Amino acid sequence: MRILVVEDEPRLLKNLARALREEGYAVDTAEDGEDGLFKAINYDYDAIVLDVMLPRLDGWDILTGLRKTKKTPVLMLTARDATADRVRGLDGGADDYLVKPFDLAELFARVRALIRRSAGQARPNLELGDVEIDPRARVVTRSGQTVPLTAREYAILEYLALHQGEVISRSELYEHLFDENDDTLSNLLDVHVYSLRKKLGRELIATRRGQGYCISPET
C-alpha cells in the first residue's frame, strides 16, 4: 500500500513517514500544497494523510482539486478546537480526520480502515479459503498456522487480496507497493509471487498472461 503524507512541519512529516514505513507502507511526502496536489493527482495512492494549514495551497484546495478526478481516501489532520475545519473537510470530500496532536496507533487504525473501506471490505481480516490475512498484525495464516512472509511478499498478497476478483496489472502493483525513493531492483514481482505460491498454495494467485495477477474471491 502506498501513502502520500502532505505536512509542512518537517519533524512531524519525517516522523509520520518513518512510522508509516515501519508499518510496511510505501510512503511519498510533500511539504507544501502545490507538491501535494501534484502528487495526489498524478499517482494512485491507497490513502492520503493531509494537513489543513499548508503553504502555497491549503488542505481544502488540495481536496477540491483532487475530488475533481479521484476518489483516493483522505485523512485530514486538523487543529484542536477547530470544529469548523473538520466540518469543512468532511463536506469537502475528506473521508476522516484526526485532531493534532494524535496518537500514532490511532492514525494507523484510521488509515487501515480507510484503505479497507475504499476497497469495499468491511471486515478487518481478509479471508482467501484457508488463508487468512490480519492487516493489523501483518500476519498471514494458512489453516491456522502462521506463514512467515517477507515484507514484499506480504505487501503483494495484501494488495491482491484487498482487490480480490480484479486483475491487477504489474504496473499497478509497482505503483502501489514502491514509493518515489524506491529504486532497488529487488522488486522482481515474479520471484515474490513464485515464493508466495510456494508458501500458500499454487492456486492462490492466478497469472493472467499479458494482463497481470488475480486472486479469485472463491479461492
Residues that bind Ca ion (CB under 5 A): 8, 51, 53
Of the pair 46, 51, the CB lying nearest Ca ion is at 51
Of the pair 76, 215, the CB lying nearest Ca ion is at 76
Q: In the complex, what is the shortest distance from the CB of residue 39 to Ca ion, in angstroms, rounded to a whole number? A: 17
Q: Which helix (H) or strand (E) holds 84?
A: helix 83-91
| Residue 38 one-letter amino acid | F
Task: Tell me which residue has its CB nearest to Ca ion.
Answer: 53
Of the pair 51, 158, the CB lying nearest Ca ion is at 51
Strands 212-214 and 74-78: unpaired
Q: In the complex, what is the shortest distance from the CB of residue 59 to Ca ion, in angstroms, rounded to a whole number? A: 8
Q: In the complex, what is the shortest distance from the CB of residue 105 to Ca ion, in angstroms, rounded to a whole number? A: 22
Is 200 buried (19+), middle (13-18) or exposed (0-12) by CB count in 10 A? buried
Of the pair 51, 85, the CB lying nearest Ca ion is at 51
Sign of the Cα torsion 24, 134, 139, 161 reads negative
Do the beta carbons of residue 136 and residue 111 sit within 8 Å? Answer: no
Q: In the complex, what is the shortest distance from the CB of residue 187 to Ca ion, in angstroms, rounded to a whole number? A: 33
Of the pair 89, 212, the CB lying nearest Ca ion is at 89
CA distances from 160 to 8, 9, 22, 163, 219 (A): 33, 34, 21, 5, 12
Q: In the complex, what is the shortest distance from the CB of residue 54 to Ca ion, in angstroms, rounded to a whole number? A: 5
The secondary structure of 93-136 as a DSSP string is: T--EEEESS--HHHHHHHHHHHHHHHTT--SSSEEETTEEEETT
